[in-house]
């Protein structure tokens, strides 16, 4: 397993360019199975999760070519209907293949998904939604077995214990595009990644309305065609570098991001004392000339503060002025990074679904271990601001969501290197 070694502290400065959004690319890749024609997807990030999804699509019979950030996917009349554990176990988003396989093949066998260990993430919202469209779904030997004689439109409520579900919304929306009649998804997710998926489906010939709201209407069509589409920028990658700039009292310009997708973060960082300026050509300048103030927040579905930024913001709050309270409303057990940050000198305690962070002046370098994708990014930020050497192991988690992070940070002035072990 590779490791990252960081010599800190450092002050980040310069420009960083953002890649396409992984969380938009993965469902869009699966959506290509809804058509027999070839689709071309541009701006796809070259990440391990994307390569895994390529393998899953090939297993079910699609032809996939991935080169220089452009994907060509030709499903043809594929006949595969099984997504095996060996692939699906590595990432949560693979469950999105259930809807397209079911509506096209009338049968799907998909392993229960895996991904980061951030607490229980039940799939009952997916099964409830697809069952409402006419699917018969059961779990056998670790697999979801879904059958149907033909999906039919219906009104589907997708609210869960912790709000709307992004992947369940994607699954039901994709299946509904080829179902007979109208489907109305109530309490649908409205994240930018869902909007991007809907825009791609519309290019394919789907009839979708309301995909920027919590109520989405889909009128089923008989067939869809291939389409060409460019993936939206990765708002979580952009936000991670913005937080890193603030933590290191840096001055960076993030290029290629969509500032409209970052409202909650910009509000929080500005309240804490950062200066954020919108620049021409999709650029955002982030400056923090001093130690920031602590703030309190709760993670919420979009447009609230993203759960995928909770760990990174905690690393920033660990060296800010005062006491911060971060409440995790999406995945209440998503605090695996707390112990590792405390190893670096942070003062963080947990009370239920809340973390109480008492800001300290400095962190100190230490050997730490990444537990999941976003926790990995938080430890990188911790290493940038810590005095001395930080060694982060199990960074394969990081590679699932950040392309060449160590190279991008090096260009910003960080002393960071990847070591093979």
Condensed to tens digits (0 to 9), the pLDDT of residues 144-174 reads 999 999 999 999 999 887 778 999 999 999 9
Query: CATH number of 3-19+233-419: 1.10.150.120, 3.40.1350.10, 3.30.1640.10, 3.65.10.10?
Result: 3.65.10.10
pLDDT at 380: 98
State the pTM of this model: 0.95
Q: Which is catalytic among the residues 96, 116, 190, 246?
A: 116
pLDDT tens per residue across span 285-328: 999 999 999 999 999 999 999 999 999 999 999 999 999 999 99
What are the DSSP E strand ranges found in 48-135? 63-67, 70-74, 82-83, 107-111
pLDDT at 361: 95
pLDDT at 108: 93
CATH 3.65.10.10 in the chain: give the residue spans: 3-19+233-419, 22-227
Sheet holding 228-230, edge to edge: 63-67, 70-74, 39-42, 228-230
Contact (Cβ atoms closer than 8 angstroms) between residue 315 and residue 382:
yes
pLDDT at 83: 84
Alpha helix ranges (H) inside 93-226:
98-105, 124-132, 166-177, 192-203
Sign of the CA dihedral running 243, 248, 253, 255: negative
Contact (Cβ atoms closer than 8 angstroms) between residue 126 and residue 95:
yes
pLDDT at 322: 96
pLDDT at 160: 80
Please state, for a pLDDT cut of 70, what percent of the chain lies above it: 98
What is the secondary structure of 133-151 as a DSSP string? Answer: TT-EEEEETTEEEEE-S--
Helices 235-247 + 263-272 axis angle, to 10: 10
pLDDT tens per residue across span 371-389: 999 999 999 999 999 999 9
Residue range 22-227 in CATH 3.40.50.970:
no
Active site residue 116: yes
Q: What is the mean pLDDT of residues 225-245?
A: 98
Q: How far is CA 48 from CA 22, 51, 68, 200, 317, in A?
A: 10, 5, 14, 23, 30
Q: How far is CA 182 from CA 145, 194, 297, 407, in A?
A: 25, 19, 38, 48
Contact (Cβ atoms closer than 8 angstroms) between residue 110 and residue 83:
yes
């Amino acid at each position: 397993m590779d490791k990252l070694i960081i010599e800190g502290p450092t002050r980040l400065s310069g420009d960083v360019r953002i890649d396409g959004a992984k969380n938009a690319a993965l469902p869009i890749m699966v959506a290509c199975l809804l058509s027999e024609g070839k689709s071309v997807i541009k701006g796809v990030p070259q990440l391990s999760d994307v390569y895994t999804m390529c393998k899953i699509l090939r297993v079910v019979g699609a032809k996939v070519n991935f080169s220089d950030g452009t994907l060509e996917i030709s499903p043809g009349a594929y006949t595969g209907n099984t997504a095996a554990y060996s692939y699906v176990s590595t990432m949560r988003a693979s469950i999105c293949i259930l809807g397209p396989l079911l509506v096209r093949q009338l049968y799907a066998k998909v392993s229960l998904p895996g991904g980061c260990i951030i607490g229980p993430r039940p799939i009952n919202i997916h099964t409830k939604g697809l069952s409402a469209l006419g699917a018969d779904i059961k779990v056998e030997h670790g697999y979801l077995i879904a059958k149907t004689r033909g999906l039919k439109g219906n009104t589907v409520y997708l609210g869960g214990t912790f709000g709307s579900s992004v992947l369940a919304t994607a699954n039901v929306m994709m299946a509904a595009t080829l179902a007979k009649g109208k489907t109305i998804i109530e309490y649908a997710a409205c994240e930018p990644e869902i909007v991007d998926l809907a825009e791609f489906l519309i290019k394919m010939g789907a009839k979708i309305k309301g995909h920027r709201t919590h109520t989405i209407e889909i009128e089923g069509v008989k067939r869809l065609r291939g389409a060409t589409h460019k993936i939206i920028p990765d708002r979580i990658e952009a936000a991670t570098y913005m937080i890193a700039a603030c933590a290191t009292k840096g001055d960076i310009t993030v290029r290629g991001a969509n500032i409209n997708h970052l409202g909650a973060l910009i509000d929080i960082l500005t309240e804490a004392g950062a200066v954020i300026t919108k620049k021409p050509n999709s650029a955002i300048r982030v400056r923090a000339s001093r130690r920031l103030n602590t703030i309190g927040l709760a993670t919420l579905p979009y447009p609230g503060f993203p759960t995928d930024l909770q760990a990174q913001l905690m690393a920033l709050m660990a060296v800010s002025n005062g006491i911060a309270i971060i409440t995790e409303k999406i995945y209440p057990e998503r605090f695996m990074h707390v112990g590792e940050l405390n190893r670096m000198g942070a003062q963080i305690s947990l009370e239920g679904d809340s973390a109480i962070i008492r800001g300290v002046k400095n962190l100190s370098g230490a050997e730490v271990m990444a537990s999941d994708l976003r926790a990995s990014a938080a430890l990188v930020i911790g290493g940038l601001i810590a005095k001395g050497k930080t060694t982060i192991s199990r960074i394969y988690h990081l590679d699932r969501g950040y392309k060449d992070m160590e190279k991008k940070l090096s260009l910003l002035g960080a002393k960071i290197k990847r070591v093979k072990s």
